[in-house]
Structure 1
Amino acid sequence: MLMIIWGYIYFVLIGLGMNSFINSQSFAKIGMLTILIGAIINIILDPIFIFTLGLGVKGAALATVISQFISAFGTIYFLTGKKTILKLQIKNMFLKKKYVTKIFSLGTAGFMMAITNSIVTIVCNATLQTCCGDLYIVIMTIINSIREVASLPGQGMANACQPVLGYNYGAGEYNRVLQGIKFVTLTSLSMMLILWLSITIFPELFIKIFSHNQEIINNSTSALRLYFFVFFMMAFQMVGQAVAVGLGKAKQAIFFSVFRKVIIVVPLTIILPAYIGINGVFIAEAISNFIGGGACYITMWFTIGRNLKKV
């Protein structure tokens, strides 16, 4: 545990955090490569350390720390090298209030998205433990794992649009910003629709990635379909928040993150099971996707999008 805390976390913060500086300079391939190298090395080292060297869990932790160190080293090496446009230099490491305030403001949006997800997970597990026991906690863990993977394409596109939209917004190219918003909306929505259909039509295929226990599979199928009902609406939430953050409207992104998770999901997760049973826990997420995603995107379009058209 200590190895993961003191080794892995710092290297991940450097590797993933500083990776944004690579991507924002239009070196997307290099940014992807620094992350991919760490993942591949981790995959190679895991069986060697766990089985060949017989280190077990310690081996898995050591492999993870080493792989993330290499990823972090690659990121720093590029950002201090000759190819980068904006080079990391000691003289620029001193903090300035106006930049810290702006970064903190925009970063709070991402933090709130993460912390609200954690709050919902805690509430869901507590509710499931009270009414249904360990079986449904296992099922929810599987569903959350599937959701994390299924969200990545849409979230990746939404995050990728931020530096492009921000650059053009700062340059006064508002028509390009509008085109970028439309493009990333259609792309993210298309990806999420394909994944939603795949999960809805073939739920057992996704569940079996994590477990072949027939009892878990039987109980997970309907729960997965309920949880992922209108999952594609998440694309609107992702794009709406990404555009708000990319154009410096952090308060709007923070509000809709709290609105969807804390104001909608948490109360529904607690209330619905009392009326419709265990299905209420899974339906709560679907309702929040529909209301939260729609409200976030519509608000973004009528505040940010409409103003861009007027300029």
Structure 2
Amino acid sequence: MKELRKRSIMWIIVSYSVPAAMTLFITAFYNIVDRIFIGNCNGSVALAALSICYPLSFLVAAVGLFCNGGGRSIFESYLKKGQEWKANHTFGMSFLMTAASEIFLTIFLFVFMEEWLRLFSVTESTYTDAKSYFEIMALGCVPQGLTLVLCDFIRIGGKLKEEILIMALGAIANIILDWVFVVVLQQGVKGAAIASVTAQIISALAAGCYIMSKKSPIKIAKKFFIIDDRLCTRIVKGGLIAGFIQLLLGVVVVVYNRELNLWGQTIAVSVYSVTASLLMFFMMLAAGIGQGIRPILSEYYENGQRKLFLHTMSAAMCFSLLMTGMLWILVELFPEQILSIFGADAVMMTIGVSAIRQNFIIAPVVSIILLGVSYFQAVKKEKIAMLLSFLWQIAVLIPFIYLLPLRKGLMGIFLARPICEGIMAIIVIFWIQRSYSKIKKMTK
């Protein structure tokens, strides 16, 4: 971090946040590309089927983060101390736990497939497509989980460009394979699932080959894969917050799908598929900035550089609000054009334009919430960070999803998120201001 003293705060924020945001965008890209191809080639019912299966991706990511989230920080800490053996051992434990957990999850998904589909709110009209997509995507648990863990450790080992290239390789492969399977071979949702899983396998193999190469920051040997119970426990504890957030996101999608089926049927679920895709861009952008600045904030805080800490946090918040604000303007001005990208028909367009404008009416405040979570993680207030995530995704949002339709009908469901985010932004600002006041007193 010594070289950062010679750089401006904004340069630091941009240089650390852009790669993190790019990685998150590429990760989210698979679902979005599938939806675009399916919406244009197979219609709104097939698009709704993909939305029904959407929680599966959060479940896979959550399992991966439980087994890997803590390993990243432990690995980085050992590298800084020059303890390469312990760093490599940390990678070995994260890899083994991720592989084993994702294999178990795959089996669990197949054994209870019908129960999962019912839980995800499948309907008679979406059942066939949803089942076809689900059973193939379940096979992608292992490659998706391993890609995440391998790329995380490649990035933390200082090979950021290589990580982005590996992720981009999978994303490009997904586009090409979607075109082949969905457009050329006309395999529908089944083809989209095959394309996604194949692309994930390509990314996992590319990451594995790089890890095994001489350029890799990680050394591979049998001794690094000897199970250490204490280390495994530390890794899991460190990944609880990240994994918990992913699970909450999946729960929210399930609740949305259930209420949309009740109040607007399949076409409303199709519209939600588009709004969920747009929401990814807002969240990935803000989360990328939060992830990028978190290690810098932690460094400043631990070293007692309180003024730099406060300036960096304030500048990052302004930068995130600016970027999400620019995206918000595009979404509010061009909802018809966005819906047409996903192959929306006249009925879907009628519902979708109002739904998008209402759902994203105050979307930039996502920056305040997500950077607030990163802030409290940086100052070692993990419990507050977890509480904020719980309030945002469960305690505040879900009641509004159930209650607002009783007064506003279908559009009430799409109003739930902006109302929730407005409330959460006020809560986050209040808590950050209290924390700021304490830190400012410490600088005097």
Give the TM-score band, short-chain normalised.
Answer: 0.7 to 0.9
Letter in 1 for 2:202: I
Matches within 5 A, 1:54-133: 59-97=191-229, 99-133=231-265
CA distance in 1, matches of 2:191, 2:180: 8
Q: Percent identity?
A: 24
Greater RCO, 1 or 2 (C-alpha within 8 Å, sep 6+): 2
CA contact 2:282–2:364 (8 Å) conserved in 1? no
SS of the residue corresponding to residue 272 of structure 1 reads: helix
**Structure 2 spans left out of the alignment, 5+ residues:** 1-133
- Aligned equivalents of 1:240 and 1:120: distance in 2? 20
Give 1:5 deviation, angstroms. Answer: 2.1
Q: What amino acid does structure 2 have at the position aligned with 1:260?
A: W
**Farther-moved stretch of structure 1 (86-95 vs 250-259):** 86-95
Moved more, 167-176 or 177-186: 167-176
Partner of 2:384: 252
Partner of 1:162: 294
Question: What is the match of residue 329 of structure 2?
Answer: 197
User: Which residue, out of 334, 341, 353, partners 1:209?
Assistant: 341
- Aligned residue among 19, 22, 27 for 2:151: 19
TM-score, structure 1 length as denominator? 0.86
CA shift, 1:43, in A, is: 2.0
Report the 3-state secondary structure (helix = DSSP H, G, I; strand = E; otherwise coil) of the residue aligned with 1:212.
coil
CA shift for structure 1 position 120: 2.2
1:39 match: 171
Shift of 1:20: 1.9
Code of the residue aligned with 1:254 in structure 2: it is M
**1:8-34, Cα deviation, whole Å (9 max, x unpaired):** 221111112232222223332222111
Contact in 2 for aligned 1:154/1:188 (Cα 8 Å): yes
Q: Which one-letter code corresponds to 1:75 in the other structure?
A: A
Contact 2:310-2:436 within 8 A present in 1 as well: no
8 A Cα contact 1:135 1:216, kept in partner: yes
Give the Cα separation in 1 of the matches to 2:170 and 2:417: 33
CA pair 279-298 structure 1, distance change in 2 beyond 3 A: same
- Which of 171-180 and 10-19 deviates more? 171-180
| Counterpart residue number, 1:5 | 138
1:229 to 357, 361, 365: 361
Helix, strand or coil at the partner of 2:239? helix
SS of residue matched to 1:83: coil
User: Offset of 1:60 from its aligned partner?
Assistant: 4.1
Maintained 8 Å contact 2:282/2:366:
no
Q: CA deviation at 1:231?
A: 0.7
Change (3 A) 1:201 1:176: same
8 A Cα contact 1:106 1:245, kept in partner: no
Normalised by the length of structure 2, the TM-score is: 0.62
May I ask how many residue pairs the two structures share in their alignment?
A: 310
Hey, what's the Cα distance between the residues in 2 that align with 1:246 and 1:279? Answer: 38
Residue 155 of structure 1: CA displacement? Answer: 1.9
Does 2:280 correspond to 1:152?
no
> Is the deviation greater in 229-238 or in 172-181?
172-181
Give the C-alpha shift of residue 99 in structure 1. 4.2
- Label 1:110 to 1:300 Cα distance change in 2 as closer, same or farther (>3 A): farther
Over 3 Å counting, the alpha-carbon distance change for 1:297 and 1:27 in structure 2 is farther
